[in-house]
Amino acid sequence: MVEIKIVAFDDAHCGLIRTVREQVFIQEQQIDPEIEFDDLDSEAVHVLVMDGEQPLGTGRILADGHIGHIGRIAIMKAARGQGLGAKVVQALVEYAQQQGYPRVDLGAQTHAVDFYRKLGFMPYGEEFMEANIPHQAMEQMLA
C-alpha cells in the first residue's frame, strides 16, 4: 500500500530520499551530485512516498519568511503515471497552508509547466537555467 508522509531529513529517512533523488536527478537527468544535495535538506520539510519498504517519490519545502519554496519533486521511473507527483505537490501545498504561508513557489523544469499549472500554479518571470536544465518560476497563492 502506498503511503505519503511528511518527514524530516533525518537518519530514518535521508537514505530513502537520497535513493529517489540519486536515481531521478543524478542518474536520469545527469545533475551534478554537488548541486543536487545541498545544505538545505536538513532545514527542509520533506514528503516521502513509500510502498512498503520501497521509496517511490519525494519532494521538499523550504520556508523563506512566509513563503514556501517547493522543490526536488522526484518520482521513480517505474512509479510514474500513477498520480504520485501530484500527490507529493499537494501534500507540500497542504503543509504550507497549515503553516499559514500566503503563497508557495517553485522552479519547474519547462517540460513540467503544464503539470504544475493543473495543480494551480501560475508562471511568472522569465525562463532560467538551473543545473543546465531550462526552468520556469511558478507560484500559487494560498487561501
pLDDT tens digits, 74-131: 999 999 999 999 999 999 999 999 999 999 999 999 999 999 999 999 999 999 999 9
pLDDT score recorded for residue 60: 98
pLDDT score recorded for residue 17: 98
Question: For residue 143, is pLDDT > 80?
Answer: no
DSSP 107-134: EEEGGGHHHHHHTT-EE-S--EEETTEE
Read off the pLDDT of residues 8-21 as tens digits, 9 standing for 90 and up: 999 999 999 999 99
pLDDT score recorded for residue 19: 98
CA-wise closest residue to 74 among 139, 28, 20, 37 = 20
Q: What residues contact 46, with CB distance under 8 A and at least 6 apart?
A: 6, 7, 8, 9, 13, 17, 58, 59, 60
pTM of the predicted model over 0.85? yes
The mean pLDDT value for 43-72 works out to 95
